[in-house]
A and B are shown apart, each in its own frame.
Chain A
Amino acid sequence: MREALKKASAVAAPIAITLAAVYVFAAPFTGSH
């Protein structure tokens, strides 16, 4: 169980960081903020 969680977090962490980074740093104009 702990191993499965560790593997899942190993994949989820970089994805979460990337989502946050795009949200913060990308500046596309979509008509709203």
Chain B
Amino acid sequence: MVGGRQLVLMALPAVVALLYVMVRRPVPRGPALGLRGLWLVGVALGLHIVRFEVLSPTVASGTGVGRAHGLLTLACAGGFLALNWATVTGGSPWARTGLVTSVAGVAANALPVALVGAMPVLRPAALSAGFTPAELASAPPGYVVAADAGDPVVWLGDVLPVPGGLTVLSLGDLLLFAGFTILIGLALALRAGARSATDVAPVGASITREGEST
């Protein structure tokens, strides 16, 4: 189930992007983002639901299941990047930045899971965020509490506390929040900007194909 704090985090990129599009005048104009392979997000969503909502917590916490989940998520990220390579090499600077930052964030979060089978949570960071030692005694499925940052894989785990916010973020979280905000902001802004029939795409703004949209 999704908790209140998770809902706030989920909505953050969309809210920031919407505010940007509402405030920004004039809105930028250009072709649609034309991202391909969005079905891979659906595949990853299916994997996530199977692991955390279908399987029992004991099975979901298993190292093998966790590693497989991490590897498959990495594969989804790699496939998405490959399918959108044209945007990486020839897209507009913002589209390229958003895409690469998003994929880097996904990979940074999936890598420790693929390596150790769960997302490491740095204990001192969790305590700073307001969790009690009792709450950290048994981590929920998908997480493992690390006593210190001695192992480099922990650096990619949840190490950045939101003081008093009962939330610990990872480097990957920051990257994908930034990347998703750019991509959704770009998608919404370009749609708004494209309302005019006299739109002219800036030279080299983005590569798009007929019939494709975000």
Q: Mark B140-158, 1 if CB is under 8 A from A, else 0.
A: 1111000000000000001
Q: Which residues of B contact A25 (CB under 8 A)?
A: 44, 73, 105-106, 109-110, 172, 176
What is the distance, in angstroms, from B104's C-beta to the closest C-beta of chain A?
11
Chain B residue total in the interface (Cβ 8 A) = 55
Partner of A22, one of B9, B42, B169, B187: B9
Q: Which residues of B contact A19 (CB under 8 A)?
A: 10-11, 14
Assess whether A24 is in contact with B45, with CB atoms less than 8 Å apart: yes
Which of A10, A11, A21, A33 is packed against the most chain B CB atoms within 10 Å? A33
Partner of A18, one of B6, B141, B180: B180
CA distance A26 to B73 in the complex (A): 12
Q: Decide yes or no whether B188 CB sits under 8 A from chain A.
A: yes
Q: How many A-B residue pairs have CB under 8 A?
A: 108
Chain A residue total in the interface (Cβ 8 A) = 22
Assess whether A29 is in contact with B126, with CB atoms less than 8 Å apart: yes
CA distance A24 to B77 in the complex (A): 12
Assess whether B169 is in contact with A28, with CB atoms less than 8 Å apart: yes
Q: Decide yes or no whether B121 CB sits under 8 A from chain A.
A: yes
Q: Decide yes or no whether B31 CB sits under 8 A from chain A.
A: no
Q: Mark B119-154, 1 if CB is under 8 A from A, else 0.
A: 101000010010100010000111100000000000
What is the distance, in angstroms, from A12's C-beta to the closest C-beta of chain B?
10
Q: Which residues of B contact A23 (CB under 8 A)?
A: 2, 6, 10, 45, 48
Q: Which residues of A contact B26 (CB under 8 A)?
A: none
Q: Which residues of A contact B48 (CB under 8 A)?
A: 23-24
A21-B41, A27-B158, A27-B170 provided; 6 other pairs, C-beta below 8 A?
A14-B184, A21-B102, A24-B41, A26-B172, A31-B3, A31-B131
Q: List 5 A-B contacts (CB under 8 A).
A: A15-B188, A23-B10, A25-B172, A27-B142, A29-B168
